[in-house]
Structure 1
Amino acid sequence: MTIEIPKENRQQAITSIERYFDENMEEKIGNIAAGALLGFFLEEIGPLIYNKAVADVQERLQLRVSELDLEIHEDEFQYWRKYERPRKGR
């Protein structure tokens, strides 16, 4: 599965990569090279991050589903209990 990002976000990422190189590396990186580097990261590392996020969501959902019984449990056969009178002690 190819990880796609919206055009606006892609441009922001490319600008960020260019800035990173400008501030932290000895050589600048151009727009085309930054775009290629972003493409590499998305293809090579993107799936790792994506899969981790999916696993985190699955874990969280499984926890919520396991707690569902506690949150929405209803006791059965309650109709007659509302008509019962407390019994007097002997």
Structure 2
Amino acid sequence: MKGKDKFKITKEKRDEMIASIKAYYLDEREEEIGDLAASMMLNFIIEELAPEFYNQGVYDAYKYMNDRVEDLLGIQK
């Protein structure tokens, strides 16, 4: 994803993600954080980390499809 492209998530999904971050901090670090802190953490993840996961997913899909096309050529007569 380049430039100003952003991941689009619904408000409901964003709220779920914020709740998950808050639960993580409480369970793993025994810290309570608020909605603002969790939202800022989510923004960081979306802006800094998610593009790498996205790109890896695109690459994995490309590799998978490329391998399947090679298999398809194997059935030529």
Normalised TM-score (structure 2): 0.84
Q: CA deviation at 1:2?
A: 1.3
| Structure 1 CA distance for aligned equivalents of residues 15 and 30 of structure 2 | 23
| Structure 1 CA distance for aligned equivalents of residues 31 and 10 of structure 2 | 28
Is residue 27 of structure 1 aligned with residue 31 of structure 2?
yes
Correspondences of 1:54-69 after superposition (within 5 Å): 54-69=58-73
Q: CA deviation at 1:18?
A: 0.5
Question: Which has the higher Rg, Structure 1 or Structure 2?
Answer: 1
Which protein has greater RCO, CA pairs closer than 8 Å, 6+ apart? 2
| Structure 2 CA distance for aligned equivalents of residues 41 and 53 of structure 1 | 16
Percent of matched pairs sharing the same residue = 36
Deviations 1:27-85 (A, max 9, x none): 311011101110110100010000000000000010011111224x3x4xxxxxxxxxx
Normalised TM-score (structure 1): 0.73
| Structure 2 CA distance for aligned equivalents of residues 39 and 49 of structure 1 | 15
Structure 1 gaps, min length 5: 76-90
Correspondences of 1:1-90 after superposition (within 5 Å): 1-71=5-75, 73=76, 75=77
- Structure holding more helix per residue: 2
Flag as ranges the 4+ runs of structure 1 deviating above 6 A: none
Letter in 1 for 2:39: G
